[in-house]
Amino acid sequence: MHRLGKTSLMLGTVTALALLGAAAAQAEDWWPIKVYDASSGSNQEINYEPLAKAAKPWKLCVLFPHMKDSFWVAVAYGIVEEAKRQNVNMTLFEAGGYENLPRQLSQFDDCMAGGYDAIIVGAISEAGLAKKFEEGIAAGKPVISTVNPVADAKTTAKMFVEFDTMGEQTGKYLVEDLAGADAKVVNFPGPAGSGWAESFNDGFKKAIDGVSNVELLDEKFGDSGVAVQLQLIQDALQAYPDMNVIWGTAPTAEAAIAAVAEVGREGEIKIMSSYENQAMLDALTRGDILGFATQYPVLEGKVAIDMAVRALEGQPLMTFVKPIPDMIAKGTVDKINMGLVLAPADWQPVYSVEAQ
């Protein structure tokens, strides 16, 4: 397992199909898994193990920014599978995009009024949700934050990766891959104000800082939907004809593959994703992108459910858990537990689970 700040693993090549078969096989027995327990303020590497089963069929309300790409589908898969395994009730609401903070706020109110025992949130905005978090906790409902960073807002427990580390991993890999060749980069970090987009971007810029052959031409923030990213990329292709590296979100990379092909520049422009989704795994297999970092989104969904149950039952609870990210690049996949990275290819999103 890769550790923060270390050189990425170099692993053998396997097909995406084989990986997804392994994902299905590994989905049930996902523990123990090494994570960082940051509850004390410093990272302590531990083996995370969930409860065997919830003591009662709790009602959990889950809020996501959107379900527009397979990243959040992967988190949902983790949520659904762990809710089933622990035999709790779960209802998931998605806001439709990072521009829809008012909708997520309204959905939080619905969770509060709907008789749910705990609320799990992938926050569109920490600042925007902070007061709601306090209201939930004051009302006796544990609030679990997952995936998106929450630095200061009050939570019962939270789990998110150090996104700057993921960004730095991808930046270092780019520098290695260039082997001294000149690079003119435009960054597409994601939605401004989300916290994670800025963190990814800061990490990437740290990796290329002082590297004489790498020039950052521009940074273009925007919603992490493919359509928005495609427009930003098309604008950048016109504004920066010498651009030869596109770095950004997984939807950015997905859009970039088509945009670069449209202008006939395949092979001239390197494409990198700061994080994972199914399209990125497929693109890596085809050789369309250099690689991507993973924060194990399925794991984040599973741990969020376990945290909520632990909080409700007064069980030992780590209040801040961090996944230990890995770099997945060409020829670097077969030792990664893909069952904790992506949902199986044939899995369809499920928005509710009923305890048996």
54 contacts 88 by C-beta, under 8 angstroms: yes
pLDDT of residue 90: 98
What's the token pair of residue 176? 């290695």
pLDDT of residue 298: 97
For 94-118, write each residue's pLDDT tens digit.
Answer: 999 999 999 999 999 999 999 999 9
Q: What distance in Å separates the CA atoms of residue 60 and residue 337, rounded to the nearest whole number?
A: 27
Q: How confident is the model over 15-31, as a mean pLDDT? A: 49
Q: What distance in Å separates the CA atoms of residue 281 and residue 197, rounded to the nearest whole number?
A: 21
For 252-268, write each residue's pLDDT tens digit.
Answer: 999 999 999 999 999 99
pLDDT of residue 109: 98
For 54-99, write each residue's pLDDT tens digit.
Answer: 999 999 999 999 998 888 999 999 999 999 999 999 999 999 999 9
What's the token pair of residue 316? 């030992």
Share of the chain above pLDDT 90, in %: 84
pTM: 0.80
What's the token pair of residue 293? 């970092």
- The packing angle between helices 278-286 and 16-26, to 10°, is 140
- Asked if residue 346 has pLDDT above 80, the reply is yes
For 190-241, write each residue's pLDDT tens digit.
Answer: 999 888 899 999 999 999 999 999 999 999 999 988 999 999 999 999 999 9
Q: What distance in Å separates the CA atoms of residue 74 and residue 27, rounded to the nearest whole number?
A: 12
Where along the chain do its domains lie? 16-161+298-324, 163-294
**What CATH homologous superfamily does 163-294 map to?**
Response regulator (3.40.50.2300)
Q: What distance in Å separates the CA atoms of residue 309 and residue 37, rounded to the nearest whole number?
A: 18
Which amino acid appears at position 122 of this protein? G
pLDDT of residue 2: 29
pLDDT bin (cut points 50, 70, 90) of residue 28 is: low
Print the SS3 string covering the chain: CCCCCCCCCCCCCCCHHHHHHHHHHHCCCCCCEEEEECCCCCCEEEEECCCCCCCCCCEEEEEECCCCCHHHHHHHHHHHHHHHHHCCEEEEEECCCCCCHHHHHHHHHHHHHCCCCEEEECCCCHHHHHHHHHHHHHCCCCEEEECCCCCCCCCCEEECCCHHHHHHHHHHHHHHHHCCCCEEEEEECCCCCCCHHHHHHHHHHHHHCCCCCEEEEEECCCCCCHHHHHHHHHHHHHHCCCCCEEEECHHHHHHHHHHHHHCCCCCCCEEEECCCCHHHHHHHHHCCCCEEEECCHHHHHHHHHHHHHHHHHCCCCCCEEEECCEEEECCCCCCCCHHHCCCCCCCCCCCEECCC
- Asked if residue 157 has pLDDT above 70, the reply is yes
Same topology, domains 16-161+298-324 and 163-294? Answer is: yes
pLDDT of residue 32: 95
Q: What distance in Å separates the CA atoms of residue 341 and residue 70, rounded to the nearest whole number?
A: 10
Mean residue pLDDT of the chain comes to: 91
- Asked if residue 3 has pLDDT above 70, the reply is no
pLDDT of residue 182: 98
Nearest C-alpha neighbor of 170 from the set 328, 316, 352: 328
List, in order, residues 6 or more apart from 106 with CB less than 8 Å away: none
- Asked if residue 4 has pLDDT above 60, the reply is no
Dihedral pair phi/psi, residue 115, rounded to 5°:
75, 20
- Domain 16-161+298-324 sits in CATH at 3.40.50.2300
Paired strand residues for 273: 248, 292
Nearest C-alpha neighbor of 225 from the set 252, 262, 259, 197: 252
Q: What distance in Å separates the CA atoms of residue 274 and residue 249, rounded to the nearest whole number?
A: 5
Nearest C-alpha neighbor of 330 from the set 280, 296, 287, 294: 287
Planar angle of CA 86, 135, 223, nearest 5 degrees = 75
